[in-house]
Amino acid sequence: MFRAKLSVPSWIALSAAALLAAGCSSTSVDKTANWSPNRIYAEAKDEAGSGAYDKAVPLYEKLEGRAAGTPLAQQAQLEKAYAQYKSGEKANAIATIDRFLKLHPASPAIDYALYLKGVINFNDDLGMFAFLTRQDLSERDQKAAKESFESFKELATRFPESRYTPDARQRMNYIVNSLAQYEVHVARYYYSRGAYLAAINRAQLALSDYREVPALEEALYIIVRSYDALGMKDLRDDAQRVLTTNYPQSEYLARGFKGKDDPWWKVW
């Protein structure tokens, strides 16, 4: 009987093919392959509802592809952004929202997208231990706060009747107060280091850029104290007249700078 003899290279080729086949057979199977879009959505909602946002994200991504061009795909995109945010993937969440805003400018959910973008940036960089250090928004990086404000502002301008607008306006007020307080934090830092001209300039920046916010009382007080330290009595007296006129019951004039345990702000 004739028997074909395989050469060594042939054995190597067969072995490689066997290994490849074994590898393919061990590849995980897509359990959603035969699922309807509605089932994928239901599963994603269940995962998100139980707090498993990291598991919900890939399901929403599959749904975006399966239901492309439908309102369900748009809903999946927004819910994916929220799941990314809750998973700590804030940059990805913002990117998802920006993509939604670009692809669906006429969507009835634009107001929610703007609100969610504002909320993500509003809480950005808070840090796990901020509550222990009593660190408020005014003491952190201002970039995210400003971007948050712009999102809320666009929401309030374009959709004044939206259900999300009242809360957005409250957050805008908080952000404005915090941005003004940031300038005052810097001014007080310069004052404490004896850099009185720098303190005056930074406090005046707060006065020129913001109106009717609590931080302006301290800004005026820093200007009064800085001019006094510089021996510029006339300018000190002018600043003090402005302070007493606008804040006749000012506690700064009575007891100086507020302590860290007596912040002006209220925890959100």
Per-residue pLDDT, averaged over 226-244, amounts to 96
User: Which among 93, 73, 91 is positioned nearest to 83, based on CA atoms?
Assistant: 93
Average pLDDT on 91-113 reads: 96
46 within some domain: yes
Domain membership of residue 7 (yes or no) is: no
Look at residue 230 and tell me whether its pLDDT is greater than 80: yes
Q: What is the pTM of this model?
A: 0.73
Q: Tell me what the mean pLDDT of segment 202-229 comes to.
A: 94
Q: What is the model's pLDDT at position 132?
A: 36
C-alpha 196/C-alpha 228 separation (Å) is: 9
Structure confidence at residue 198 (pLDDT): 96
Percent of the chain with pLDDT over 90: 64
Confidence band, pLDDT 50/70/90 cuts, at residue 1: very low
pLDDT, tens digit, for every residue of 159-186? Answer: 999 999 999 999 999 999 988 988 999 9
For residue 177, how far is the Cα from the chain centroid?
A: 17
Judge whether 74 lies within some domain.
yes
Distance, CA of 213 to CA of 203 (rounded, Å) = 13
Q: Is 82 contained in some domain?
A: yes
Does residue 22 sit within a domain?
A: no
Domain with 98 in it: 37-104
Instruction: Quote the pLDDT of residue 9.
Output: 53
* pLDDT band at 30; cut points 50, 70, 90: confident
Greater model confidence, 162 or 69: 162
Q: Looking at this protein, which amino acid is placed at residue 146?
A: K
Q: pLDDT grade, residue 24 (50/70/90)?
A: low
In a domain, 265, yes or no: no
Residue with more model confidence, 215 or 133: 215
- The pLDDT, as a whole number, for residue 262 is 41
Residue among 127, 134, 126, 171 at smallest CA distance from 153: 171
Average pLDDT estimate for 130-141: 48
Structurally, how many domains does the chain consist of? Answer: 1
Q: Would residue 44 count as lying in a domain?
A: yes
Q: Looking at per-residue confidence, does 251 or 154 come out higher?
A: 154
Q: 228: burial class by Cβ within 10 Å (0-12, 13-18, 19+)?
A: middle
**Mean predicted lDDT score pLDDT of the chain:** 84
85-116 burial, b at 16+ Cβ within 10 Å, e below that, comes to bbbebbebbbebbeebbeebeebebbbbbbbb
Using pLDDT thresholds of 50, 70 and 90, give the confidence band for residue 34.
Answer: confident
Burial class (CB in 10 A: 0-12, 13-18, 19+), 219: buried
CATH of the domain at 66: 1.25.40
List the structure tokens of 116: 């969610």
Position 215 in a domain: no
Spatial CB neighbours of 96, under 8 Å, sequence gap ≥ 6: 77, 80, 81, 84
